[in-house]
Amino acid sequence: MEKNEIGAASEAACAKPAVLPPRVAFPGGAETKLPVLSDSIFLRGQAGRVLNSDVVPVGLSPSAISRFVAGALAALWALAGLANDYVTMEAAGLSIRVVISAACNIFLTAGASLAFVNANGWRTVMLVALVCVSADRVASAIGSGAVPAQVTAAAVAFLAIAAVTLTARTRA
């Protein structure tokens, strides 16, 4: 291609916006209807308020946001616990208590990853993992003698993550 032909082709592509058809056929005969942005999504009042608050054009809903927040909080809490487990293992050696604690934290990390991908049953896995990790943290607090601080921290983390998890719907 010559230089002028490339320039003409790019100008032609930019001059006319691409519009997808409302239905697209895939190989194998499957057909799907693509979402079409219509004026109903962008209904605005006199002061620019969105009248149709159920439809969010960018794909963010309170449920999706709370799902990501629940996953992020659970992942942070689990990784902090794993760091504590690794330090304990290096300082005191391998014990059954460290192995159980690491397994609980890995379980919570798996629940967080399921929340990120919106897998079926992520809420159940997350809540069961939260109970396991909270029970492990309370048991380790009783064994270490730092009961008030660690139990309070475990309870606050459990309540925060459980509340955000329960506000998210399973499937939108």
Question: What pLDDT score does 112 carry?
Answer: 95
Angle value at C-alpha 142, between 127 and 165, nearest 5 degrees: 15
Residue 33: φ, ψ to 5°: -100, 125
* Three-state DSSP class for residue 137: helix
Question: What pLDDT score does 60 carry?
Answer: 73
Question: What pLDDT score does 44 carry?
Answer: 46
Enclosing H/E stretch for 33: strand 31-33
Question: Which two tokens mark 141?
Answer: 């607090």
Give the start-end residues of each E strand in 43-165. none
Question: What pLDDT score does 46 carry?
Answer: 46
Q: Count CA atoms closer than 13 A to 163's CA, side-chain side.
A: 6
pTM of the model: 0.63
Q: pLDDT in tens for each of the 172 residues of the chain? A: 555 555 555 555 555 455 545 555 556 555 555 444 444 444 444 444 444 445 545 667 788 889 999 999 999 999 999 999 999 999 999 999 999 999 999 999 999 999 999 899 999 999 999 999 999 999 988 888 778 888 999 999 999 999 999 988 755 5
Q: How far apart are CA 111 and CA 125, in angstroms?
A: 5
Quickly tell me which residue has 């032909």 as its tokens: 5
* Three-state DSSP class for residue 24: strand
Quickly tell me which residue has 């054009």 as its tokens: 57
